[in-house]
Amino acid sequence: MAFIELKGIDYHINKKNKKLNMLFENLNLAIEGNEFITIVGANGIGKTTLSKLIIGVLKPDKGQVLLENINIEDYKRYEIGRKIGYLFQNPEIQLFNAKIYEELMFAYEFGEGISDEVRKRYDTVIKDLSLEKAVNTPIKQLSQGEKQRVAIGTILMNNPKFIILDEPTVGLNQELIDDLRVILLKIYHKGIGVLLISHDNEFVKSLPTKVLTLSKGGRISV
Amino acid sequence: MFRDYDPRVKILIVMILTGVVVFDNNLVTQGLIVFLTFILAFIVGVNVINTLYKMRRFLTLLFSIIIIQSLFVQGGHRYLYIGAITLISEKGITLGIAYVFRVIVIIMSGAIISTSSMRNTMQGMVQLKLPYELALMTSIGVRFLPILMGEVRNTHVSMELRGIDVNELHIKRRLELIGRLFVPIVYSTLYRAKSLSESIDMRGYIIGEKRSSYYHLTLRKHDIALGVIVIIVALVILNRNYGGFI
Ligand SMILES: Nc1ncnc2c1ncn2[C@@H]1O[C@H](COP(=O)(O)OP(=O)(O)O)[C@@H](O)[C@H]1O
Ligand SMILES: [Mg+2]
């Protein structure tokens, strides 16, 4: 049993004219919980769509998505979020607070409360993401790279088993890309599975990842 | 009957319909305007059934608003009550229905306008001597609306994925959570607006500068006919209510 399984997925962009807009036809994919996997493919080929099918935000027209052997549609969104973290291409849209502490504690403030364990996790996350210097700066004023790291931080606070990143190198300069590489490796070495979506070949080549190519119709090749 | 109507006629229709339905608070007048809206939408080529189908979730929400509103607004006949607590009152239900009517007309108005291409609508606004800025803002708004809607959806999903069980929350905390959604939404709207205005400046575009165009819209007979009919029907409907000015 794989961590995530996609079985016989059909997906149409336009639900009315199905013939014309078949994005995926009989797409099959199995991802283990502890692997580092990268999906590459041309712009518009469906990488983002595929990742949103995995977290259940989009629903396949045929076939099913299984998370730990249970249909993704049987999960509540918050349950999925506790297992899989998702970094959107634009980190700004997933930040809701003024300061880093509030942002990372957000789910606990509104949920089970802030325990000693959570506080400890916060310290680790801040250290792992090298955000120590940024903690007193309003999030609004942080750089693009820092905002992205805060967004990754909010994901890590949930202690997920797996993390999906949609084109995280877009809009970053070389230095920030190098920082991101270090962070991804740290995450992976903690035993968290990673699904990276990217068309930045150089970045992908520098990582210890299995690379899958998504091509037309949802065909996946190694 | 079903031809291309001039965007200016559509603008006129929409201004009359929304004007009356927003400022008039007589339920019968509003109901007639809703009816007229559907007919006009059909005439200019809106797929009415399809639009209503797309709105169905929204309409459910609207009906819940009616019910909630009538809990707070009391007065008139009590239709449904438990002891001293009135659940549905005449005044509450009237206000609720008026609200739904307004929203329906506004949504159908959007559908009416969008049956013309943006190029044509802009040209129509310019020829109507509406401020050029207004035409530009409208066209940019329409262009960016889908992008913004996509970002709002992503923001919402990302909040759900934070792992908060919303159903466990007290209603007050839940509303607070919804309030937080506006932080990234407002931010990304402002951010888009800023980068857009920068890119407009970079191209040397000066808003409002006299622009010449070979393209010109001319009103044809059926345009004028529809415009006149709409004005007359609107006056008749209003006359019912305010009486005696025709
Ligand atoms: N909301 C949408 N409406 C219509 N088409 C869409 C929408 N989202 C994506 N698409 C289309 O689906 C295809 C796949 O998009 P996407 O998954 O974003 O590709 P990628 O991430 O590989 O660039 C593209 O052709 C895109 O135009
Ligand atoms: Mg994409």
Total count of domains within chain B: 2
- A72, A104, A109, A110: best mutation site toward chain B, by most B Cβ within 10 Å? A110
User: Which amino acid appears at position B109 of this protein?
Assistant: S
Task: Render pLDDT for B146-205 as a digit per residue (tens, 0 to 9).
Answer: 777 888 888 989 999 999 888 888 888 888 888 888 888 888 778 777 777 787 778 777
Which residues contact residue B183 at a Cβ distance below 8 angstroms, ignoring those fewer than 6 apart? A95, A96, A97
Do B3 and B111 reside in the same domain of the chain? yes
User: Could you say which DSSP state residue A207 is in?
Assistant: S
Contact B30, B240 (CB under 8 A): no
Are B163 and A82 a contacting pair at CB < 8 A?
A: yes
B151 to chain A: nearest residue by CA? Answer: A93
Contact A163, A194 (CB under 8 A): yes
What ipTM, to 2 d.p.? 0.88
State if residue A45 touches ligand 1 by the CB under 6 angstroms criterion.
yes
Predicted TM-score (pTM) of this structure: 0.73
Sheet strands (E) in chain A = 4-12, 22-31, 36-40, 62-67, 70-71, 84-87, 162-166, 193-197, 210-215, 219-221
**A113 in contact with chain B, both atoms CB, cutoff 8 A:** no
Do B208 and B228 reside in the same domain of the chain? no
| DSSP 3-state of B11 | helix
Q: How many CB atoms lie within 10 A of CB A82?
A: 19
Do B11 and B83 reside in the same domain of the chain? yes
**Candidates B160, B161, B165; nearest CB to A111:** B165
Query: B171 pairs with which residues across the strands?
Result: none
Task: Render pLDDT for B38-51 as a digit per residue (tens, 0 to 9).
Answer: 999 999 988 888 88
The closest of A186, A112, A215 to B165, measured between CA atoms, is: A112
Do B108 and B222 reside in the same domain of the chain? yes
Pocket test for ligand 1, best of A13, A53, A90 (most atoms within 8 A of CB): A13
Contacts of A55 in chain B (CB under 8 A): 157, 161
Q: Which residue has the tokens 């965007």?
A: B7
Do B47 and B74 reside in the same domain of the chain? yes
Do B74 and B84 reside in the same domain of the chain? yes
Structure tokens at A168: 């995280």
Question: Which residues 79-98 of A have a C-beta within 8 angstroms of B?
Answer: 79-82, 84-86, 88, 90, 92-97
Sheet strands (E) in A146-222 = 162-166, 193-197, 210-215, 219-221
d(CA A132, CA A128) in angstroms, rounded, equals: 9
Choose the weakest-confidence range: A1-15, A37-51, B213-227.
B213-227
Do B103 and B17 reside in the same domain of the chain? yes
Asked if residue B241 has pLDDT above 70, the reply is no
**Closest ligand to the CA of B150:** 1
What integer pLDDT is reported at residue A20 of this predicted model? Answer: 67
Do B91 and B162 reside in the same domain of the chain? no
Do B27 and B82 reside in the same domain of the chain? yes
Asked if residue A17 has pLDDT above 90, the reply is no
d(CA B83, CA B227) in angstroms, rounded, equals: 53
CA of A63 to the centre of ligand 1 (A): 20
**Closest ligand to the CA of B147:** 1
| DSSP 3-state of A169 | coil
Instruction: List the domain range (segments joined by +) for residue B29.
Output: 1-116+217-246
Which domains occur in chain A, in start order?
4-221 (3.40.50.300)
Do B75 and B145 reside in the same domain of the chain? no
